[in-house]
């Protein structure tokens, strides 16, 4: 069975500081991995996704994530946080054989302090 674990339900950083949101997955088959962002009172939107073409994936708004098979991780980073990055972030996994069924992590709320 597949699962996703996001370490830390709440992360707080200062504006301009590095953002690191952690995601570990378990999957018996090669997974597809996603990061979604949810701004207050909105639906989710895709930040980036791992397609197996490259282990370092660049997404929107300056975010990127690195797929590390040996560590079963797909951590999300951004070199310099902006106030507008304050949101909830979700890591998700799907099986390559059934891309429709996403399994989401619990979510991490990012707070950005001025």
Partner 1 sequence: NAGVTQTPKFQVLKTGQSMTLQCAQDMNHNSMYWYRQDPGMGLRLIYYSASEGTTDKGEVPNGYNVSRLNKREFSLRLESAAPSQTSVYFCASSPGLAGGPETQYFGPGTRLLVL
Binding residues (CB under 8 A) for partner 1: these are 4, 9, 32, 34, 41-46, 49-51, 90, 94, 96, 99-107
Length of the chain counted residue by residue:
114
What are 23's two structure tokens? 């995601």
**Identity of the residue, 16 or 69, whose beta carbon is nearer to partner 1 in the bound complex:** 69
What are 73's two structure tokens? 């991780």
**Identity of the residue, 9 or 80, whose beta carbon is nearer to partner 1 in the bound complex:** 9
Minimum CB–partner distance for residue 102 and partner 1 (Å): 7
Give the whole-angstrom CA distance, residue 87 versus residue 13: 12
Handedness of CA 47, 51, 90, 46 (dihedral sign): positive
**Identity of the residue, 13 or 36, whose beta carbon is nearer to partner 1 in the bound complex:** 36
Minimum CB–partner distance for residue 89 and partner 1 (Å): 11
């Amino acid at each position: 069975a597949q699962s996703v674990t996001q370490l830390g339900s709440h992360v707080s950083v200062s504006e301009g500081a590095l953002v690191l949101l952690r995601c570990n997955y378990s999957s018996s088959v090669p997974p597809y991995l996603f990061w979604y962002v949810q701004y207050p009172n909105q639906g989710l939107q895709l930040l980036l996704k791992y397609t197996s073409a490259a282990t370092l994936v660049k997404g929107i708004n300056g975010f990127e994530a690195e797929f590390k098979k040996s560590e079963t991780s797909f951590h999300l980073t951004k070199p310099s946080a902006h106030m507008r990055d304050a949101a909830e972030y979700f890591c998700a996994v799907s099986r390559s054989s059934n891309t429709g069924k996403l399994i989401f992590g619990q979510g991490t709320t990012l707070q950005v302090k001025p």
